[in-house]
Amino acid sequence: MELRIDEHVSLKDKNWFRVGGPARYFCEPLTAKDFKDAFSYARDKNLPFFVLGHGANVLISDDGFDGLIIHPKHGSISITQEDAEHIFVTADAGILMDELIEYTLAHNITGLEVFSAIPGSIGGSAFINLHYFEALISHFLVSAQVIEIATGEILDVDTAWFGFGYNQSKLMERKHCLINATLKLKKSSDVETAFAKGRRLEITRHRISRYPSSYTCGSFFRNFHADEVTLVVNDKKIIWIAYYLDKIGVKGSLSVGKVRVSHQHANMLVSHDEATAADIVTLARTMQELVRKEFGIIPQPECIFVGFNEYPLLQK
């Protein structure tokens, strides 16, 4: 079956902010061949392309994307290997993290519950090296299949290939795209699994109480690197962006158009009906300017911009 390429597809329902214009071309690859065909299509037509996962960490321009959006479909999950203590689970790029967690717990496999209620696909999680406090997806990912975009070659790679760091992976070079990932997880007893399920519920409850769960991209700005800041408290450099945003008093009060800084977390912007990407950009720039005025540093986004002709925010 040939990969279907659609035209003028709305992207508003494919990102968490629920803003943005349409994709000129749009496809949903499932297999490795589909990915090859998608990238071949983009090359043949000389089109820019963007691989859009669950849309939880992106801001799409009001003008949309004048190229090919590649949106991996859900795919499959399978147990591929096991030993006395561990089970290796392989998940396709389009699988949602919550889907994978549900699958693993249903099979007495634990470890991923720490990422409960974090929106995103496996492809997006590997791209950004999904993190929650001290946990990173790179702690679990042991191997993967990726496609080299320029050639269509399928490569089997290990963890080291990704060059993982905080909000960092080799996938960000946009020369390769994840097809699937294999994670090394813990084989657990019924009691251990029950504990993990309880932990999942508590983490989910905690996230819902602390963070908005819809119409947001999650953390908009990344934490600062240590060499970017000078403020020290208790002999530690203050790198956490939320500290600076709390100090300037934007939480729950600063807004532009139909977008407001969340009352739950100062680093999360929440959109409402009829919001635009332009509203979000203006609000984010205002936050940057306020932090610069107060502290002499400029927050930089964790959110990825799609379809903008020019970089829309202040750069350091």
Is the domain defined by 6-70 classed in CATH 3.30.43.10?
A: yes
The terminus-to-terminus CA distance of the chain in angstroms comes to: 48
pLDDT value at position 215? 93
- When pLDDT is cut at 50, 70 and 90, the band that residue 199 belongs to is very high
pLDDT reading at 188 higher than 80? yes
Average pLDDT, the chain: 95
Domain with CATH 3.90.78.10 in the chain: 226-306
Q: Note the pLDDT of residue 167.
A: 84
At 134, is the pLDDT very low, low, confident or very high (cuts 50, 70, 90)? confident
> Does the structure show a pLDDT above 80 at 297?
yes
Q: 298 pLDDT exceeds 80?
A: yes
For domain 77-210, the CATH architecture is 2-Layer Sandwich (3.30)
- The model's confidence at residue 12, banded by pLDDT at 50, 70 and 90, is very high
Flag whether pLDDT at 17 surpasses 90.
Answer: yes
User: Which has the minimum average pLDDT: 110-114, 118-122, 247-251?
Assistant: 118-122
Predicted TM-score of the model (pTM): 0.90
Residue 213, pLDDT score: 81
CATH topology of domain 226-306: 3.90.78
Chain region(s) in the chain for CATH 3.30.465.10 = 77-210
